[in-house]
């Protein structure tokens, strides 16, 4: 069967996480050469930053088929497929051994940062013989920029290093950046950062699983240090919308997160402020003041010691300026995926099978896969990424039929919409209350809050 790619150049893979390594394993199985660039000092370095967090999905959904076959040939024994690994266990028990297999290890370059990709001798504007020109990757390695050529590029660099800001409109401000020493983006290891969070006013921003993980760890800290005060700020109309599928979720651990966080809210271990739209952060006498809108009122919250911003991530396409891309203008995913993963429609991670055809870009033989292919959508699962690269590699190596097949089995994702009517006066949960003249019964809280009324009542 004639291959789609021509020539003896390798396929370049950007990112040494689970999906990038899976792409390499599939290329090995097809007899294709590759070169993989990982920005960190070890493969899957981004995962190690949340290594303390337990994953939702058991091992059976976290191991790529081609990767498993390579590992088993080397004598590797798979972990119990029913157990839930932490991020660190995923790296140490699976990804590191995979990277050390000879067929893989010889072609992995660490501490390699991609600064640009282009067609050889051509900028993005030029058409003539474009598809025949190899890709050139400009890579910073130990302070030196080196150029590598490739016949295809698979970008699996992820989004972890490019978090969203705290502001609800997605804008980064110098004011927020100046508070960097008091803001953690992602999921902090609270157990290792006790001195940072104990007996402090800590505000967690975000409504997804990352935020919930951080909140639950803070609740554990509060047991040891009761003066720790935890605030949960999000944009959802009702806190129940953040609880997800719970017992109806096909991934039990993911469902249990919603159940646990609901319990902590009901026990008043966490004070909830929602819907709240943050539009400014400001340093104030060593603390943070947060300005936003809540129920049509402008609210200024003082005396926050620490922020944990778990508002998701966005793709970095800065090094792809000379590559022809077709991305959805809102989701920033590959355009064909946007209707399947748009969080305005899919609220709990609806995942549908897709492969090379949906991932195809105007730039021939260039693909964005993995978390980055989902743009700003938070609904990605590892098994989805494995299916992506299986299909892409099949297509690149001439197996057009195989590329169109679906080799993906996933558990049901549970309830994708809670269908809860928003009502700020609901008594079913106990959200953080603000002193106001609205019909909602106020309760004082141990923070300095100023309200600029803009509407007579949220319940009119």
Question: Do residues 39 and 150 share a domain?
Answer: yes
Q: Assess if residue 460 is contained within a domain.
A: no
Q: Assess if residue 430 is contained within a domain.
A: yes
Question: Do residues 56 and 152 share a domain?
Answer: yes
**Which structural domain, as residue segments, surrounds residue 342?**
11-161+313-404
Question: Do residues 230 and 360 share a domain?
Answer: no
Q: Assess if residue 339 is contained within a domain.
A: yes
Check residue 422 and give its pLDDT. 33
Q: How far apart are CA 201 and CA 307, in angstroms?
A: 9
Question: Do residues 299 and 332 share a domain?
Answer: no
Q: Assess if residue 106 is contained within a domain.
A: yes
Question: Do residues 45 and 135 share a domain?
Answer: yes
Question: Do residues 61 and 124 share a domain?
Answer: yes
- pLDDT by position in tens, the chain (length 460): 334 455 689 999 999 999 999 999 999 999 999 999 999 999 999 999 999 998 888 999 999 999 999 999 999 999 999 999 999 999 999 999 999 999 999 999 999 999 999 999 999 999 999 999 999 999 999 999 999 999 999 999 999 999 999 999 999 999 999 999 999 999 999 999 999 999 999 999 998 888 888 999 999 999 999 999 999 999 888 877 777 655 555 555 666 777 788 888 888 888 988 899 999 999 988 999 999 998 778 888 999 999 999 999 999 999 999 999 999 999 999 899 998 888 877 654 456 678 999 999 999 999 999 999 999 998 888 999 999 999 999 999 999 999 998 887 665 543 333 332 333 333 343 444 433 333 333 333 445 556 554 443 333 3
Residue 59 belongs to domain with CATH number: 3.50.50.60
Question: Do residues 306 and 353 share a domain?
Answer: no
SS3 280: strand
Q: Assess if residue 413 is contained within a domain.
A: no
Q: Which candidate, 167, 259, 171, places its Cα nearest to that of 206? A: 167
Cα–Cα separations (whole angstroms), residue 391 to 138, 156, 206, 357, 421: 27, 14, 34, 9, 41
Regarding beta strands 297-304 and 287-294, do their DSSP bridges make them parallel or antiparallel, or are they unpaired?
antiparallel
Instruction: Say if residues 197 and 187 touch (Cβ distance below 8 Å).
Output: no
Question: Do residues 307 and 359 share a domain?
Answer: no
Instruction: Say if residues 408 and 383 touch (Cβ distance below 8 Å).
Output: yes
Q: Assess if residue 23 is contained within a domain.
A: yes
Check residue 57 and give its pLDDT. 86
DSSP for 1-27 reads: ---SS-SSPPEEEE--SHHHHHHHHHH
Specify the number of domains making up the chain. Answer: 2
Question: Do residues 25 and 140 share a domain?
Answer: yes
């Amino acid at each position: 069967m004639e291959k789609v790619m021509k020539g003896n150049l390798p396929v370049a893979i950007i990112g040494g996480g689970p999906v990038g390594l899976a792409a390499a394993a599939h290329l090995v199985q097809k007899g294709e050469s590759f070169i993989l660039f990982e920005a960190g000092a070890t493969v899957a370095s981004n995962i190690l930053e949340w290594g303390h967090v337990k994953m939702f999905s058991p091992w059976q959904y976290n191991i790529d088929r081609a990767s498993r076959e390579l590992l088993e040939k080397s004598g590797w024994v798979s972990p119990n497929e029913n157990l839930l690994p932490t991020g660190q266990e995923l790296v140490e028990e699976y990804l590191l051994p995979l990277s050390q297999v000879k067929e893989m290890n010889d072609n992995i370059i660490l501490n390699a940062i991609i600064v640009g990709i282009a067609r050889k001798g051509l900028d993005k504007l030029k058409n003539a013989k474009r598809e025949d020109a190899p890709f050139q990757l400009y890579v910073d390695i130990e302070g030196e920029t080196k150029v590598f050529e490739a016949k295809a590029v698979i970008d699996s660099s992820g989004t972890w290093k490019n978090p969203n800001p705290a502001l609800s409109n997605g804008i980064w401000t110098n004011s927020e950046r100046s508070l960097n020493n008091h803001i953690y983006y992602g999921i902090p290891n609270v157990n290792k950062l006790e001195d940072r969070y104990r007996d402090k006013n800590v505000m967690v921003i975000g409504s997804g699983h990352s935020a919930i993980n951080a909140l639950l760890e803070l609740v554990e800290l509060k047991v040891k240090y009761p003066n720790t005060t935890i605030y949960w700020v999000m944009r959802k109309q009702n806190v129940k919308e953040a609880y997800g599928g719970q017992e109806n979720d096909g991934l039990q651990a993911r469902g249990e997160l919603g159940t646990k966080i609901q319990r902590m809210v009901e026990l008043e271990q966490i004070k909830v402020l929602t819907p709240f739209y943050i539009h400014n952060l400001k340093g104030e006498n060593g603390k943070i003041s947060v300005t936003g809108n809540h129920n049509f009122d402008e609210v200024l919250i003082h005396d926050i010691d620490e922020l944990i911003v778990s508002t998701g991530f966005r793709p970095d396409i800065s090094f792809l300026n000379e590559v022809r891309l077709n991305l959805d203008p809102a989701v920033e995913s590959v355009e064909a995926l946007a209707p399947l993963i748009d969080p305005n429609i899919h609220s709990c991670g609806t995942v549908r099978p897709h492969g090379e055809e949906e991932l195809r870009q105007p730039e021939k033989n260039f693909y964005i896969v993995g978390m980055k292919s989902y743009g700003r959508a938070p609904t990605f699962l590892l098994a989805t990424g494995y299916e992506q690269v299986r299909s892409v590699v099949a297509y690149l190596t001439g197996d057009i039929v195989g590329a169109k097949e679906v080799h993906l089995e996933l558990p049901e994702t549970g309830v994708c919409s809670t269908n809860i009517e928003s009502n700020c006066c609901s008594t079913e949960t106990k959200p953080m209350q603000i002193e106001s003249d609205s019909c909602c019964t106020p309760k004082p809280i141990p923070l300095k809050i100023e309200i600029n009324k803009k509407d007579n009542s949220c319940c009119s």
